[in-house]
C-alpha cells in the first residue's frame, strides 16, 4: 500500500488518541490501529482510502445484535451500499462449504473487485473472511476488525487457514488485509474465559518469544483477567509487535524464522486433536507452554527459576498448566505423530534458552517427552 495512505491515516487519527503501527510487507504494508472506539472513525478512514464502492461486512450470528448498530452508526453518513452477511462462527463451520455459500451470497449482492470486505469477529471469522477475500474475484480489499483478545493478539498478521476433514487449518493463504482495527471496546462483552484464552497467546509472544517482562508481570496478568482493558491493549500491541517482526522476516515460512511461532504449540495441538477441539486454544496453550519449558529445563537448556516464573504467569492469567484428567501422556505422544514439525519421523520441539531466546530442537525422544507429561499429571 502506498506509504502516503498509511501516513495519512496516522496523521488524521493521532488526534483521537489512536495509535498507529505499520505491518511492513513492502507494497502490501498496512496500518494497525489501536485504541478505544477506533471504529467510530471508520467513516474518516474510508475517506482517506477513497473507498466509495460497496462494503460487505461478514460477521457471526451472535455478534450482529452486539455490534451492528455501532458499526452502522459510524457509517451512517456514507452514500455507498453497506451489506451484512453472518455465519455461525463455530470452529466446525470454518470450512470450504461455508465459504462457497459466502461466494454465492456475495455475488448475489453484487460484490465485485472494487468492493471491500470487513471481517468482524474472533479468530474463526478472521480466518474465514481472510480466505474468502483472498480468493473472491482473485482477491478483494479486506479490513480486519477482530473482536476477541486472541484474534487481536495473534491473528492479525500472517495469513489464514480453514479446516478440511483431512486436517485442521489444512487450506490457507498468505493474504494481508489493507487495514486492521484493534478496538478495545469490542472486548468488553467477552467472558473472563475468553480473556484468559487470549492471554495465553500474549504470554507466548510477549514473554517467551519477545523476552519482554518486568517485575509487575504477575500483577499485570491479574489486572487484565479482571478487566483492565487499557493494559490489555498495551499487551496486545506488544504481542503483535513480536509476531510482526517474526513474520516480516519470514512471511511464508522459508528461512525457518516463522516456525518459532510454534513455541509451546506442539503439545497444545496434540491436546486439541485428542479433545476434538473442545478445549479452547489458549487453555491448551497454557499446558503446552509448560510442557515445552519443562522439557527445556530437563535438557539443561533453561534455568528452573525461569520455567517456574513462566508457570506463575500462566496461572495468574487463569490458565491451566496440568493435563486434563481424561488425557494420558501416552495419548499425547501418539497424537504428536501429526505434528507439522515432524521430520523423517522425528519429533521436534521449539525449546527455550531464556525468555526471548527460542530455537528449533533436533529430534527429541518419546521418553523425554513422556517424562515431562507425566510430571504434568495432576495428583
Ligand atoms: N490465522 C492465524 O494466524 C491464527 C492464529 C491463531 C488462531 N487462529 C484461529 O482462530 C480461532 C480461535 O480464535 P478465537 O479464540 O477468537 O475464537 P472464536 O472466533 O471462536 O471466538 C471465541 C468465542 O468468542 C465469541 N466472541 C467473539 N467476539 C466476541 C465479543 N466481542 N464478545 C463476546 N463474545 C465474542 C465467539 O462467538 C466465540 O464463542 C481458531 O479457529 C484458530 O484456528 C488463527
Ligand atoms: Zn496459538
Does ligand 1 come within 6 angstroms of the Cβ of 183?
no
Q: How far is the CA of 112 from the centre of ligand 2 (A)?
A: 33
Does ligand 1 come within 6 angstroms of the Cβ of 124?
yes
Does ligand 1 come within 6 angstroms of the Cβ of 157?
no
Does ligand 1 come within 6 angstroms of the Cβ of 91?
yes
What is the pLDDT at residue 70?
Answer: 96
Which of 86, 91, 133, 151 has the most ligand 1 atoms within 8 A of CB, as the residue to mutate? 151
Report mean pLDDT in 10-residue bins for the chain, 379 residues: 86 93 90 96 93 96 97 93 96 94 98 97 96 96 97 85 86 92 98 98 97 94 97 97 89 81 94 93 97 97 97 98 95 84 79 96 90 91
Given the C-alpha cell 531466546, which residue does it identify?
Answer: 357
CATH architecture for the domain at 3-189 = 3-Layer(aba) Sandwich (3.40)
What is the pLDDT at residue 347?
Answer: 85
What is the pLDDT at residue 1?
Answer: 64
What is the pLDDT at residue 271?
Answer: 96
Please give the CATH topology (third level) of the domain spanning 236-375: Dehydroquinate synthase-like, alpha domain (1.20.1090)
Index of the ligand 1 atom closest to the CA of residue 201: 6
The residue whose CA has the least distance to atom 9 of ligand 1 is 123
The residue whose CA has the least distance to atom 27 of ligand 1 is 122
The residue whose CA has the least distance to atom 2 of ligand 1 is 155
The residue whose CA has the least distance to atom 18 of ligand 1 is 122
The residue whose CA has the least distance to atom 12 of ligand 1 is 123
Index of the ligand 1 atom closest to the CA of residue 151: 16
Give the number of whichever ligand sits closest to the CA of residue 123: 1
Give the number of whichever ligand sits closest to the CA of residue 288: 2
* Tens digits of residue pLDDT in 154-197: 977 878 889 888 888 889 888 999 999 999 999 999 999 999 99
Which of 91, 93, 124 has the most ligand 1 atoms within 8 A of CB, as the residue to mutate? 124
What residue spans define the domains of the chain? 3-189, 236-375
Does ligand 1 come within 6 angstroms of the Cβ of 148?
yes
Q: How far is the CA of 122 from the centre of ligand 1 (A)?
A: 3
Give the number of whichever ligand sits closest to the CA of residue 268: 2
Index of the ligand 1 atom closest to the CA of residue 130: 1
Q: How far is the CA of 267 from the centre of ligand 2 (A)?
A: 11
Does ligand 1 come within 6 angstroms of the Cβ of 155?
yes
* Tens digits of residue pLDDT in 323-379: 999 999 999 999 988 776 666 778 889 999 999 999 998 888 999 999 999 999 987
Q: How far is the CA of 33 from the centre of ligand 2 (A)?
A: 22
Amino acid at each position: 500500500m502506498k506509504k502516503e495512505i498509511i501516513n495519512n491515516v496516522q496523521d488524521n487519527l493521532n488526534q483521537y488518541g489512536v495509535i498507529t503501527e505499520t505491518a511492513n510487507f513492502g507494497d502490501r504494508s498496512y496500518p494497525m490501529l489501536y485504541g478505544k472506539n477506533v471504529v467510530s472513525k471508520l467513516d474518516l478512514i474510508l475517506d482517506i482510502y477513497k473507498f466509495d464502492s460497496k462494503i460487505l461486512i461478514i460477521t457471526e450470528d451472535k455478534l450482529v445484535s452486539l455490534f451492528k448498530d455501532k458499526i452502522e452508526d459510524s457509517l451512517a453518513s456514507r452514500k455507498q451500499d453497506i451489506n451484512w452477511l453472518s455465519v455461525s462462527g463455530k470452529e466446525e463451520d470454518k470450512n470450504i462449504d461455508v465459504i462457497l455459500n459466502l461466494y454465492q451470497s456475495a455475488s448475489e449482492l453484487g460484490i465485485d473487485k472494487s468492493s471491500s470486505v470487513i471481517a468482524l469477529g474472533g479468530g474463526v471469522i478472521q480466518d474465514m473472511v481472510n480466505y474468502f477475500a483472498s480468493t473472491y474475484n482473485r482477491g478483494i480489499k479486506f479490513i480486519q476488525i477482530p473482536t476477541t483478545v486472541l484474534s487481536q493478539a495473534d491473528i492479525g498478521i500472517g495469513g489464514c487457514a480453514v479446516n478440511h476433514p483431512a486436517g485442521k487449518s489444512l487450506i490457507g493463504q498468505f493474504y494481508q488485509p489493507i487495514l486492521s482495527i484493534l478496538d478495545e471496546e469490542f472486548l468488553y462483552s467477552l467472558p473472563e474465559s475468553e480473556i484468559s484464552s487470549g492471554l495465553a497467546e500474549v504470554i507466548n509472544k510477549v514473554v517467551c518469544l519477545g523476552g519482554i517482562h518486568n517485575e509487575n508481570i504477575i500483577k499485570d496478568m491479574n489486572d487484565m483477567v479482571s478487566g483492565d482493558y487499557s493494559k490489555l491493549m498495551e499487551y496486545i500491541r506488544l504481542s503483535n509487535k513480536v509476531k510482526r517482526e517474526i513474520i516480516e522476516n519470514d512471511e511464508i515460512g522459508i528461512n525457518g524464522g516463522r516456525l518459532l511461532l510454534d513455541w509451546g504449540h506442539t503439545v497444545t495441538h496434540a491436546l486439541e486433536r485428542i479433545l476434538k477441539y473442545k478445549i479452547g486454544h489458549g487453555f491448551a496453550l497454557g499446558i503446552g507452554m509448560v510442557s515445552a519449558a519443562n522439557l527445556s529445563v530437563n535438557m539443561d537448556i533453561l534455568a528452573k527459576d525461569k520455567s517456574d516464573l513462566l508457570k506463575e504467569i500462566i496461572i495468574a492469567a487463569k490458565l491451566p498448566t496440568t493435563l486434563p484428567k481424561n488425557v494420558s501422556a501416552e495419548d499425547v505422544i501418539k497424537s504428536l505423530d501429526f505434528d507439522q514439525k515432524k521430520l523423517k519421523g522425528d519429533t521436534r520441539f521449539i525449546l527455550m534458552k531464556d525468555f526471548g531466546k527460542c530455537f528449533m530442537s533436533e529430534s527429541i525422544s518419546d521418553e523425554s517427552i513422556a517424562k515431562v507429561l507425566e510430571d504434568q499429571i495432576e495428583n
